[in-house]
Structure 1
Amino acid sequence: MPTKQSEKTAAEKESRKARRQEKKQKPVGNGQAASEKLTRKEQKKKQKEEKRKNKKPRRRIFPIWLRIIVVLLICAGALVAGLMIGYGVIGDGVPSDALKKETWQHIIDIVIKTD
């Protein structure tokens, strides 16, 4: 008496054989299969073109040029805040002195060591 497991494997073997025979019977190269692929490719191209035509143009509420300006302003603000925190809190100075020209001239003189 065959078990369920052996019945499944026998059925799988038969289906594999059937698939192999179908593959062997299909024409290869310039036959019917090649022409079907071309039509499928053409259909995909047409579908893509239709999607592009039907797609709504994207309207940006926050334009790219304005984004760039905002990012640059945020970076400048972070730089100023970092200078003031570094000079005033960490360096025990007056935070507003970090923005004065005389302070930076003094720092440059120390680094270069002009005599």
Structure 2
Amino acid sequence: MATNLDKMDTKSRDERRKARRAMYRKSEENNEETEPKKVKMSIRLIPIWLRLIIVVILISASLLAGLVVGYGILGNGEINDALKKSTWTHIVDLIEAD
């Protein structure tokens, strides 16, 4: 499925803004009663790639907080031990033991 990018309208945000302002000025000069067509544009304050990074960071932080609370507070263990590799290899060994 091929797309023809040459025929697509690829204007930048500034070009669209300038065209909209020019259309509004023309309507004022002609004393037209009708207003130019309003186009709703969404401007992202936070880019999508940054949103994804923030979500991954928040998920990781909540996972670590859950490990610390579950192992250290609810499990009556040491809070520092919750993040050690030896603790989790021991738990995996207990689960996989026959």
Q: Distance in 2 between matches of 1:105 and 1:72?
A: 24
The amino acid of 1:99's aligned partner reads L
Higher relative contact order (CA 8 A, sep 6+): 2
Q: Residue by residue, what CA displacement relative to the aligned partner does 1:34-72 show, whole Å, maximum 9, x if unpaired? A: xxxxxxxxxxxxxxxx74xx4153221111111111111
1:81 is matched with 65
2:12 is matched with none
Instruction: Give the CA deviation at 1:95.
Output: 1.1
Q: Distance in 2 between matches of 1:111 and 1:75?
A: 25
The amino acid of 1:66's aligned partner reads L
**How do 1:1-115 residues align onto structure 2 when only pairs under 5 Å count?**
51=37, 54-55=38-39, 57-113=41-97
Q: Percent identity?
A: 46
The amino acid of 1:112's aligned partner reads E
Provide the aligned C-alpha RMSD in A: 1.7
Secondary structure at the aligned position of 1:62 is classed as: coil
Q: Distance in 2 between matches of 1:88 and 1:56?
A: 51
Q: Distance in 2 between matches of 1:56 and 1:99?
A: 49
Q: Distance in 1 between matches of 2:40 and 2:91?
A: 56
Relative to the length of structure 1, the TM-score reads 0.50
Aligned residues: 63
**Considering only CA atoms, is the larger Rg found in Structure 1 or Structure 2?**
1
Q: Residue by residue, what CA displacement relative to the aligned partner does 1:69-109 show, whole Å, maximum 9, x if unpaired? A: 11111111000000000000001111121111100110011
The amino acid of 1:60's aligned partner reads R
